[in-house]
Amino acid sequence: MDMLQVFHMNKGQGESSYAQNCTVQKKIMLLAKSYLKEAIQGYLKNGYPESMVIADLGCSSGPTALEAVSDIIEAVVATCPKHLSPKFMVFLNDLPKNDFNGVFASFYDFQEKWRKQKGDDFGPCFIAGLPGSFYGRLLPPNGLHFIHSSSSLHWLSQVPQGLNEDDQPRILNKGNVYISRTSTMEVVMAYKQQFRNDFLTFLKCRASEMISSGRMVLTFVGRNSVEPTSLQDSYPWDFISHCLATMVSEGLIEEEKLDSFNVPYYAPCLEEIKELVDEESSFSGHIFEAVEVEWDGGINLNDESSSLMMPTKGERIAKMHRAVAESMLQHYFGADLMDDFFHRYAQVLDDYLIQNPNSKSICLVVSLIKN
Ligand code: SAH
């Protein structure tokens, strides 16, 4: 699968859109706010620049795209003396199929919000879209002061080599779409190697683009255990494999189709990240933390008026995952199977959540300083 051609969050504002289903990512942004603030304050200890060039990598198209920018600007404005507030140049990056129009459509409201809050003290904020993969160079050298990337770096540049649909002379990960308990070492190593290549490339590219002592704050899905085949870490992909396998058994999907499908995703542990940051050596590791996040972002629906029409927890989580993964799944299995597939997936999630109501995933927070 060519990520540049296929992958995108669900567009627009509709029921299945990323914009309406990014609760968990919003929660992660909230968790990361204090790290952003700390990094900005740290950077501004070196002096107050006349202008700041900022990039948000993997911005997507929901409310979170400009929220991240807001959080960064808020932290800068709060730290600088009023008359020394910088002008902002913000680059919003994502893959070319991202709904950039959706982001730009909300730019006016964003500007107005800041103008109302800060009046003339708020220097202009220039925004530009930057389509392309963050696993390549995005900007000219030595220009960026601050980089932010939220909930994006667990996506690989491609399905790991050897596990791609086209380059599997023999099936390596039968019945699974990601590393699972039954995956062989060959599969685990293919995933580890792809992540290693991608993350090192990411660091190298950002190091070229950033000024010395610039800051970078990253959050992405990770895992707690050093061992990637642990039970907890293969969720929810195991459920996705299970639902696809059921559809195979009912003749709705060809078996070979499932067997040759693997996701371009990897959830690393902190140790792997620390090692790669050390090895690449352009950044000083500043903060490395693993934070737990509820599968549904921890929103409490009991507070809202209850109704029989209220979606179950499994349905809500399935919608969130649909907004993220549908472009990829429909590319492989066809758009007409998606409603059926996500309906089954919601049920499997509900069954699991009855026994495990407090299931959580791991979000890694990494704050780096460019040497
Ligand atoms: N930062 C937003 C969106 C997270 S969703 C938030 O926190 O809500 C992850 C985003 O990363 C998606 O929009 C996806 O298209 C983007 N993405 C994945 N791989 C990418 C790559 N190689 N280059 C740029 N963007 C990428």
- The closest of 341, 288, 346, 340 to 316, measured between CA atoms, is 346
- Residue 150: both structure tokens together: 């939220």
1, 90, 94, 202: residue to mutate for ligand 1 pocket, most atoms within 8 A of CB: 94
We report the CATH number of the domain holding residue 210 as: 3.40.50.150
Q: 219 in ligand 1 pocket by Cβ < 6 Å?
A: no
pLDDT of residue 300: 60
Q: Give me the number of domains the chain comprises.
A: 1
Looking at the predicted structure, is the pLDDT value of residue 302 above 60? no
Whats the size of the chain, residue-wise?
371
Ligand 1 atom closest to 65 (CA)? 2
Amino acid at 353: L
pLDDT reported for residue 62:
77
What's the CA gap between 117 and 226, in Å, rounded?
46
Q: Is 126 left (phi over 0), alpha (psi -120 to 50) or beta?
A: beta
The candidate with the shortest Cα–Cα distance to 133, out of 58, 195, 193, 69, is: 58
Query: What gap in Å lies between CA 272 and CA 143, rounded to an integer?
Result: 28
Instruction: Give the model confidence (pLDDT) of 210-232 as tens digits.
Output: 999 999 999 999 999 888 887 67
Whether the pLDDT of residue 306 is over 60: the answer is: no
Give the domain extent around 337.
3-300+308-370
Q: Which residue is closest in CA terms to ligand 1's atom 21?
A: 133
**Do 334 and 246 form a contact (C-beta atoms < 8 A)?**
no
Ligand 1 atom closest to residue 64's alpha carbon, by position in its atom list: 8
What is the position in ligand 1's atom list of the atom closest to the CA of 8?
Answer: 15
Let me know: does 177 contact 325? Beta carbons within 8 Å: no
Instruction: Give the residue-averaged pLDDT of 70-79.
Output: 92
Does the beta carbon of 76 sit less than 6 angstroms from any atom of ligand 1? no
Pocket residue to mutate for ligand 1, from 30, 66, 155, 364, most atoms within 8 A of Cβ: 155
pLDDT in tens, 336-360: 999 999 999 999 999 999 999 889 9
pLDDT interval class at 123 (50, 70, 90): low
What letters, b where the CB count within 10 A reaches 16 and e where it falls short, cover 199-223? bebbbebbbebbeeebbbbbbbbbb
Q: Is the CB of 8 under 6 A from ligand 1?
A: yes
Place 120 in a pLDDT band, splitting at 50, 70 and 90.
Answer: low
Q: How far is residue 201 from each of residues 205, 237, 276, 369, measured CA to CA in Å? A: 6, 26, 10, 17
Amino acid 114: pLDDT:
79
pLDDT tens, residue by residue, 16-49: 999 999 999 999 999 999 999 999 999 999 899 9
pLDDT tens string 160-215: 988 987 766 678 999 999 999 889 999 999 999 999 999 999 999 999 999 999 99
